[in-house]
Amino acid sequence: MAVVGTASEVPGTRSSDYNGGIRTCSRTHLVKTDTKTDNESVVAGATGLPLYAAAHLAFSGAYAVSQSITEVGESGGLGWHVTTGYTSARELNENPADDEVLIDWNSEIYQEDVQFDIDSKAVCNSAGDYFIDPTPTREAIHLIARIQANVTSVPVWVITMQNAVNNALVTIGGLPCAAGLVRLQRFVIGQRQNRDGAIFYPFTFEAHIHKDGWRLRPLDAGFRELEYGELVQVRNTGDGEEVTSPAPLDGAGKALANPSPATGVFGNFQIYPEMDLTVFPGIE
């Protein structure tokens, strides 16, 4: 049981379609076998057939993604038509891990508390008190890059790098992002797949990009202050009574003598791990 000779392309069977920026093509080859007991598994390995992920002869941006085999009668033995389908939707390789990384972009709109204005001044009233009922909010937007790639195994960083923030400049899809602006979320690993014996897993994740970064910067304020190394209740300078709303502090634990939007002090806290994100596909 064997293939006879080399697969030959059947004249007049090529097709090509271009729709929505994606080209799809097909080519059909004739494969002959020497016995009627031969089957599709013998035919699929014939010399001369396009390999998976091979570039189309006429359209280098289209890659082989499918193969269909149909039995046809031939004198002197059996013949088979093998049709190869191509698409330009994605650059493919024999090694799934080397497939083109795909990136699409979106944005997320949400409400966030406002502690400071666009000039980095504290959002408080003219007496220097917080607005607490209600707390001021604003509609915020940050950019999301959704990245699709293949991995050959479930990598350990799906556990260790959830919510990780970039510790250095990175580039995503040509967009440079300074340190601290990118946070990783929503890791999705698909079912195991087999491409001609190569095992891989489709992997999708999101890179959330915030122009102000992901550190926590609250207004330094509270009900207590440091006095000679001891915590004491903050009191109003006028009546001496304990404050009933958080009093702005000076960054060193002391209540501001004359708080105002211009004198507000903000903290700077690292609340997400800052790591090297270039181990991820699509991030350079």
Give residue 37's pLDDT: 78
pLDDT of 9 higher than 60: yes
State mean pLDDT over 69-84. Answer: 80
Give residue 258's pLDDT: 82
How buried is residue 129: exposed, middle or buried, by Cβ count under 10 Å (0-12/13-18/19+)?
Answer: middle
pLDDT band at 49 (very low <50, low <70, confident <90, very high): very high
pLDDT of 175 higher than 60: yes
State mean pLDDT over 7-30. Answer: 93
Instruction: Using alpha carbons, list the distances in angstroms from residue 162 to 14, 150, 186.
Output: 47, 18, 8
Q: Choose from 68-72, 240-244, 259-263 the range with maximum mean pLDDT.
A: 68-72
CA 129, distance to chain mean position in Å, is 41
pLDDT in tens, 92-128: 887 888 888 999 999 988 887 877 788 878 887 777 7
Give the position of tokens 């009933």. Answer: 244
Average pLDDT, the chain: 88
Give residue 75's pLDDT: 52
Residues 6+ apart with CB under 8 A from 271: 214, 215, 216
The number of residues making up the chain comes to 284
- pTM of the full predicted structure? 0.73
pLDDT band at 273 (very low <50, low <70, confident <90, very high): very high
